[in-house]
């Protein structure tokens, strides 16, 4: 049907954007380590990696429901569980400000090809070093639960950043060495001569750039203190958390809820927008059901049976955002907006079902009917509405 085809096309585009593009960028960045790539292609790849890598990392992290602070109870639904945020919100500037410095340093060295003063180049390389340190700490923080909640996808951007840094730092040092070789003047002073001799070798540039981390970190510390983060803000952004590698806090016990925001959307939105299909049963109570709700529940039903670990991650998304949304969807307009915002996820769920389930439409149709999917697996009983 046209509606189903549109859903599949939307899901395919979403999968391409959030999975295909990162995989392709990783391939290009890896290839760039040992092979020269066309300048325009490399620049587009660098810019896309920095922009989309930062954006997708945020999306991946919070799509998994990892946005609850350690001192807040997590909300559980249907007996599932959820993790707290791996980064402390109170000390987030201690993570974001060094990240911005690292990204800017990478951008300048990647896109500004003209000759730069040696000290500026050393500081920019130090900024890139700082980004790698930050990425390594972030990956170690996530390691505690990276398999259970599929958080390992968060390692993709730090990995690409590292590959970019190797290539860009190497190219910058080679440019600086060439400038020095082409220069006609060599300093005579004892100190300046020693510095020139040190910088005339690749190893000297790496050493000087590491040494430049000291003043850079000192300046960063002053900035963080001015932001009220304290001298140990970079440490506390990882430690003032719960459930992760560096976490030191004990969270309050979780709470339960029985609401489901997609149920609220199906019942409360305008009929022409949310397209209610039939009445269903949830927890023994009648509810209004639409296709979006059935697709989401069919997806959860499949992964709960086949990959329970992944189910916990998906369910945590529901638990994180379902309850706050359900209590705020008080008007048909709000229900319509949530329905539209949920469309990309609906497409992604549908694509998954069509890729892995032998009879996806039967699984979708049986949701909220009170029957088990296995009872209708070979006999489609769903209703079609044109």
The domain spans of the chain are 2-239, 257-376
Cβ atoms of 54 and 103 within 8 Å: the answer is: yes
Backbone dihedral region of 255: left (phi > 0), alpha (psi from -120 to 50 degrees) or beta? beta
Determine the pLDDT at residue 101: 93
SS3 at position 252: coil
Contacts for 229 with CB less than 8 Å, ≥ 6 apart? 91, 93, 94
Query: Measured between alpha carbons, how far is residue 37 from residues 27, 29, 46, 101, 161 in Å?
Result: 12, 10, 12, 26, 17
Q: Which two tokens stand for residue 229?
A: 């983060």
Rounded CA-CA distance 228/354 in Å is: 51
pLDDT tens, N- to C-terminus, the chain (386 residues): 455 566 667 667 777 777 888 889 999 999 988 888 888 888 899 999 999 999 888 877 765 556 678 887 775 543 344 678 889 888 989 999 999 999 999 999 988 878 888 888 889 999 999 999 999 999 999 888 876 656 778 889 999 999 999 999 988 888 888 877 776 555 555 666 676 677 767 777 788 888 888 888 888 888 888 877 777 888 999 999 988 999 998 888 765 544 555 666 666 677 778 788 888 877 666 777 888 888 888 888 888 877 776 677 666 666 665 656 665 666 777 777 778 877 888 888 888 888 888 888 888 888 888 766 554 444 444 343 33
Contacts for 41 with CB less than 8 Å, ≥ 6 apart? 28
Q: 314: closest CA among 152, 138, 148?
A: 148
Cβ atoms of 196 and 187 within 8 Å: the answer is: yes
pTM across the whole model: 0.64
Contacts for 233 with CB less than 8 Å, ≥ 6 apart? 91, 93, 94, 224
Per DSSP, helices labelled H in 144-260 are 156-182, 190-199, 202-211, 213-226, 233-239
Tokens 């694509």 sit on residue = 351
DSSP tag of 375:
G
Rounded CA-CA distance 33/54 in Å is: 21
Determine the pLDDT at residue 377: 44
Backbone dihedral region of 329: left (phi > 0), alpha (psi from -120 to 50 degrees) or beta? beta
Rounded CA-CA distance 151/245 in Å is: 13
């Amino acid at each position: 049907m046209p509606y189903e085809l549109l859903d599949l096309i939307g899901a395919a585009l979403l999968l391409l954007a959030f999975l295909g593009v990162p995989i392709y960028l990783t391939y290009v960045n890896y290839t760039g380590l040992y092979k020269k790539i066309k300048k325009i292609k490399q620049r587009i790849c660098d810019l896309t990696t920095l922009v989309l890598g930062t954006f997708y990392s945020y999306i991946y992290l919070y799509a998994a429901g990892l946005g609850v602070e350690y001192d807040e109870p997590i909300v559980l639904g249907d007996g599932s569980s959820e993790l707290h945020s791996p980064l402390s919100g109170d000390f987030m500037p201690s993570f974001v400000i060094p990240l911005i410095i690292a990204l800017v340093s990478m951008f300048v060295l990647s896109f500004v090809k003209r000759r730069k003063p040696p000290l500026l180049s050393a500081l920019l390389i130090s900024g890139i070093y700082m980004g790698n340190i930050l990425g390594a700490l972030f990956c170690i923080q996530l390691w505690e639960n990276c398999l259970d909640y599929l958080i390992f996808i968060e390692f993709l951007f730090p990995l690409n950043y590292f590959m970019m840094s190797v290539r860009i730092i190497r190219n910058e040092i080679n440019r600086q060495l060439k400038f020095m070789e082409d220069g006609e003047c060599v300093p005579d002073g004892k100190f300046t001569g020693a510095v020139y001799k040190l910088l005339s070798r690749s190893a000297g540039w790496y050493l000087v750039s590491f040494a430049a981390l000291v003043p850079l970190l000192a300046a960063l510390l002053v900035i963080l203190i001015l932001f009220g983060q304290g001298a140990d803000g970079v440490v506390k952004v990882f430690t003032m958390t719960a459930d992760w590698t560096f976490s030191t806090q004990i969270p309050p016990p979780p709470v339960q809820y029985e609401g489901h925001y997609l149920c609220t959307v199906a019942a409360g939105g305008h009929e022409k927008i949310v397209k209610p299909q039939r009445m269903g049963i949830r927890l023994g109570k009648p509810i209004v059901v639409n296709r979006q709700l059935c697709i989401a529940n069919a997806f959860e039903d499949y992964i709960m049976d086949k990959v329970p670990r992944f189910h916990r991650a998906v369910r945590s998304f529901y638990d994180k955002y379902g309850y706050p949304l359900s209590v705020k969807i008080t008007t048909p307009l709000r229900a319509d907006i949530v329905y539209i915002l949920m469309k990309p996820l609906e497409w992604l769920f549908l694509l998954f079902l069509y890729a892995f389930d032998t009879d996806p439409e039967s699984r979708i149709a049986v949701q909220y009917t009170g029957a088990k999917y296995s009872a209708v697996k070979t006999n489609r009983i769903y209703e079609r509405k044109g």
